[in-house]
Structure 1
Amino acid sequence: MIYFDNSATTKPFPEVLDSFLKVSSEYFGNPSSLHNFGGLAEKLLNQARSQAAKLLSVQPNEIYFTSGGTEGNNLAIKGTAFANQKSGRHLITTTIEHPSVRESMKQLESFGFDVTEVPVDSSGRVDVKTIENAIREDTILVSVMHVNNEVGTIQPIKEIGQLLRKYPRIRFHVDHVQGIGKVPLDLNDCSIDLCSISAHKFHGVKGTGLLFVRDGVKINPLLNGGGQEKNLRSGTENVAGAVSLAKALRMIMEIQDKESRHLNLVSRKLREGLSKIEGVVVNTPEIYAAPHIMNFSIPHLKSEVFVHALEEKNIYVSTTSACSSKLKTLSGTLASMGMTEDRAGSAIRLSLSYTNTVGEADAVLSAIQETIEELRKVMK
């Protein structure tokens, strides 16, 4: 099997699974309990928080464990909007965000908030000047993803953060789900107030994630109850999930430092190979692009048909993001980049992990060429 769908989810590291199992079986006490057994669980939770904070170069009290990117994005966006609505009800985002951001914004519109979606250029990148022009007196939040989950475009997060320093009332949220472990992001240098990550994108366990909330930033909880996570996310803490997330984060950061050159090599191999295949158009830009995502189109061939044809060859890829792939709708990202309906409807995403090899890239390229020829014969 060749697995090139790592932006949808990754295979958990064995060490991560071991840590999850060990904590689940040996330290299963409730960290809110008064007895010592619960205290052991609480100690592990605090250690995981400190480890994650150190890896992200932030403070432990700025880390809130969540169930993943979707919850993190919802909590950051809605929590900020509700907590700051007396100061304003205007929010800014882009046209290429993840569904968890777009749908959160849409729901807030039903509550009377005003949302501005700024456009992107043909490479899928937003212009900082466009964001500046969208800012109003009542703007309270700007939410922009770091790495686009469909085409891999890297947004100018540092430049946006520098811009927003002139507007201290505006909070800056970044969806870092696709960038973490692949494209470095300095939360402090970029003046980010809120940042979401999800562990299953970097070989952690599904259902685990965290939200960074800069000290002093006010947001309202979405879940009420026992007051866990400093009253921001009630519910018995997933200690095993937090520990395994910290483990996965440490491991992916170490691998990123050592293997980023290898990942770029495989990515270049795919781009060069795809550009030589007749009828293939590469959608991922050549600059400002993450090394692990390669998006391309085969006009006149339906992407769903192509994905299943590759699956028969034991190769796993995807169309749009995993959250949208079964809806069979055209890619909103590619449409926002100005691509035709035919091109957007025939898009395929290859997404890598550090374990993928040049040999696998060669095999996938050969399979793509072969599959195109097979499908075109059927269509004649």
Structure 2
Amino acid sequence: MSAPTAAPETTDRTSGPARLTSGRLPRFIEPIVLVAVAAAVALVLFVVTQHLNIAVWLVLTAVFYLIAIGVGSSIVENRRKAVDRVVRGIVTAFFVLAVAPLISTLWTVVAQGIKVVNWTFITSVGGSTFDPNTLAVVNTPGALQSIVGTLIITGIATLISVPIGILTAVYLTEYSLPTNPLRRTITFLVDVMTGIPSIVAGLFAFSLFALIVGPKAFSGFSASVALCVLMIPIVVRSTEEMIRLVPSELREASLALGVPKSTTIMKVVLRTAASGIVTGVVLAIARVVGETAPIFIAASFTDNFNANPFRDPMQTLAVQAYTAYSFPGKDIDASQAQAWGAALLLVILVVIFNLIARIVAKVFAPKVR
């Protein structure tokens, strides 16, 4: 009985025995190389040009970092790991490039708006007042009328749009057949409404109310109707997609127990998709709460406090930021500060809406073990 022979050693045609393992760079080599390359590029630029251009510095740092990490990894490790590190670096660079404008915008808004935003600014009605004693026009910073107008206009638009959008999505997914002409018509109209410019929605609302109440049709309710045109297609599309994600087995099990279809939709389908539906509604609100053109056309703007959405112009935070910056008063610095304050309050309002949406989505999400 012959002894078993050893397996032949695997060899590489060019470099002898093939390596089953390869070297490995240190764990934190990537941030170390990035810092070193950034410092070297900054030093060279400062020596050559006597000043540091941030944009050129960032671009050259990214390029030389990718070259350095690729060459080093290919020497110490292998070609596949080198390609992986280079591709990760490229993806990270494009991610930073996409996020940089957002971070820059938020930083600018917060840095400029925090100078003027305080409790007095939030609870005061801004505007210009004439002092008969000094015969001077005094600019009073304040955003109370804009905060109230934003909440009223957006709230009315939400109360109108959300039921219409959810019921339309339920009809498209649960009741209508794919060959139904009405379904095709509704789907086509929703697609068209999704791409409508916001200023067209404002012109539509103003024209509608001008035919009803006359040429002076500025009101908060008119602006809410304009926002409904923008909100409804978003609510329909997001709700429709969330309902389609509900497993059909849940519907079949409910119907097999003798539960009516309407109750199945209310208690099973919508309850299961509640988390996604709430997220879609919040996205729709965030889409319209910062709109300026339709509200500027339909509700105009005013420095007076007006909480009646059915008569007289009404102010919102977005319109206040636009008018204060585009049409400043005699004190330009005060007008610009008021614009930045309104912009910061608008950002804070959107953040609050998102936090509320997350809480509601967590409460209505299906409970699992």
> Which structure has the bigger radius of gyration?
2
| Fold equivalence (TM over 0.5) | no
The normalised TM-score by structure 1 is: 0.22
Calculate the TM-score normalised by the size of structure 2: 0.22
